[in-house]
Amino acid sequence: MERRQFSLILLGCSLLGLTRFAWSSNPATRSISIVANLFTHHDSAINLGQHYLTLFPQEANYDWLVNQTLPHGYAHIQSQSLKQTLRMQRGKDFYEGNTVIIDGWVLSRTEARLCALLALA
């Protein structure tokens, strides 16, 4: 599998699965569910997230990562809007060179942080 395909699978294609939200009274539980629904290959995303947190341990704070990756009011945003927002942020990251290399894969910072969120969940 090529790196580009992997990246698209991780976030682009995986976002297609974002159709369910867990409406819990606990915002942390809700955000875990939303982030988990972004990925179809949870084990791979968790593995990448763990590697990311090894490289950037100062970012190993769940609330901080939620604030950095998910738009304000994300729990009430329609899934299509959230998908579009994350796609735009990923594209912006690549355009600005805001990327990280994890195990030879070039990921946008947003993708890596979403994986880190899943790893911390």
Tell me the residue range of the domain where 65 lies. 3-120
Which residue did the predictor score with more confidence, 20 or 109?
Answer: 109
Report yes or no: 44 and 113 within 8 Å, Cβ to Cβ. Answer: no
Phi, psi of 98 (to 5 degrees): -85, 70
Domain count for the chain, please give it. Answer: 1
pLDDT band at 121 (very low <50, low <70, confident <90, very high): confident
In this prediction, residues 98-119 reach a mean pLDDT of 94
pLDDT in tens, 20-75: 333 334 445 556 777 777 788 889 999 999 999 999 999 999 989 989 998 877 76
Q: Give the rounded distance of the alpha carbon of 110 from its chain centre.
A: 6
